Amino acid sequence: MQLADRVEKVPPYLFVEISRKIAAKKAQGIKVISFGIGDPDLATPSAVIDELRNTSLDTPNHRYPETDGLPEFRMAVSEWYKKRFNVELHPDTEVLPLIGAKEGIGHASLCFINPGDIALVPDPGYPVYSVGTWFAGGNCHWMNLKESEGWLPNLSEIPSDIAKKAKVMWLNYPNNPTGAIATKEYFQQVIEFAKSYDIAVMHDACYTEVAYDNYKPISFLEVEGAKDVGLEFHSLSKSYNMTGWRIGMAAGNKDMINALMIIKSNLDSGIPNAVQYMGIEALKATDEDISNRNNIYQQRRDRVVDALNQIGLSATAPLASLYVWVKVPTGYTSAEFAEILLEERNVVVTAGNGYGPSGEGYIRLSLTISEEDLQEGIERLKGWSIPKK
């Protein structure tokens, strides 16, 4: 048997390795505290679960869903965008339900990338942007994010011959893994750049509802001209503690939505209807619901940042996202530091270089950890004196 290069050459998905390490420790009878994967530990709101309970009993919901989803879910998305961001979206042409943002992001490359084409991809970044590009036969031009530039791609560093050939640019704010945020002015520059080089902008906005200290993240689509050049990917996973139910959406340019619909209708058969009814209910969450949930993460964030600072790192509290992104001590690589933390304290963090070479020198800690584990994890951190290298 000969497997295709796309299978043979793709690096293992980041969290597969982490899961393996945790399993090895567990096999030795050791309890590991994991700040690894970003997967909300909090329950899906009970009204949303009730909707699953009720709608799953209706026989029509047992049949194939439509790829473009229930008109009621598309309408709910359109109304949510209006209420949350004051963005107008036609529910039938500018909204497309997804089986999670990851699915849509992975498939979007098939809309824009011919073999040999270039995608502009942030480094560090969520791995699906680059892997989706490779699966479509394209190549990545890495946009190196730097702390000194607020982890925003420096558009003037993209060589014009590359920009002329590039078909798509990937962005993600609030950002995973750095916790960075983008301003309207930055998005305006992106739109101008995209227009001058005819590049499609794909903005992954799956953390807009996870924010702290009264900060309200913006949508790319709020910015004038955004709909001319791009799409925004959204997810109910992080917003409403729904990672297990698999539901998200793409919104924006109607020709791009249609292209994604063409790809998806040939590969998948949509989101189970009962899960879409859950989505409709989830999108009804009030500002108070969201801020109550965010207060929990904010307290965790502050305790994690405090513990990291106590052991001599210099962590700052992010304004949004589920992650604390912090520099490792001098002399260590990201991987060495993550390794020694696991060895000496049985605490898992993600090595920054797992998100791309520019993540080297950092680690990421996720705030999606139960109260009990958080307490234990913080004690393990605080009781540690980092060996000098």
Ligand X SMILES: *Cc1c(COP(=O)(O)O)cnc(C)c1O
Binding positions for ligand X, rule: CB under 6 A? 38, 100-102, 126, 172, 176, 204, 206, 235, 237-238, 243, 248
Would you state the structure tokens that stand for residue 287, as one six-digit string?
């500002």
How far apart are the C-alpha atoms of 207 and 133, rounded to whole Å? Answer: 22
Q: Which is nearer to ligand X, 205 or 226 (CB)?
A: 205
Rg of the chain (C-alpha set):
21
Q: Are 326 and 308 in contact (CB under 8 A)?
A: yes
Compute CA distances 43 → 77, 272, 377, whole Å.
22, 20, 21
The CA distance from 248 to 88, in Å, is 18
CB of 297 to ligand X, least distance (A): 14
Residue 197 or 355: the one with the smaller Cβ distance to ligand X is 355
Closest contact distance (angstroms) between CB of 159 and ligand X is 26
CB-nearer residue toward ligand X: 179 or 377: 179
Nearer to ligand X, 359 or 381 (CB): 359
The C-alpha atoms of residue 344 and residue 36 are separated, in whole angstroms, by 16
358-361: list long-range contacts, CB under 8 Å, 24+ apart: 358/123, 358/124, 358/142, 358/144, 358/145, 358/146, 359/123, 359/124, 359/177, 359/334, 360/333, 360/334, 361/327, 361/328, 361/333, 361/334
Distance (Å, rounded) from C-alpha 346 to C-alpha 257?
Answer: 45
Q: What is the dihedral of CA 331, 335, 339, 340, to 10 degrees?
A: 10
What is the closest distance, in whole angstroms, from the C-beta atom of residue 380 to ligand X in the complex?
Answer: 25
CB of 75 to ligand X, least distance (A): 20
Tell the smallest beta-carbon distance from residue 105 to ligand X (Å): 6
Q: Which of 195, 217, 133 is nearest to 170 (CA)?
A: 133
* Choice between 172 and 346, CB closer to ligand X: 172
As measured in angstroms, the least distance from the Cβ of 268 to ligand X is 13
The token pair that represents 220 in the structure block: 């790319």
CA–CA separation, 291 and 212 (whole Å) = 8
Of 101 and 218, which CB lies nearer to ligand X in the complex structure?
Answer: 101
- Assess contact for 331 and 185: CB atoms under 8 A: no
Smallest separation (angstroms) from ligand X to the CB of 26? 24
Our CB check for ligand X shows the closer of 126 and 186 to be: 126
- Closer to ligand X at the Cβ: 206 or 338? 206
Quick one: DSSP state of residue 211?
B
**Measured from the CB of residue 381, what is the shortest distance to ligand X in angstroms?**
23
Instruction: Please list, residue by residue across 89-114, b when 16 or more beta carbons sit within 10 angstroms of its beta carbon and e when fewer do.
Output: bebeebbbbbbbbbbbbbbbbbbbbe
Residue 209 DSSP SS3: coil
* Closest CB 36 distance from ligand X, rounded Å: 13
- Nearest residue (CB) to ligand X, 15 versus 384: 15
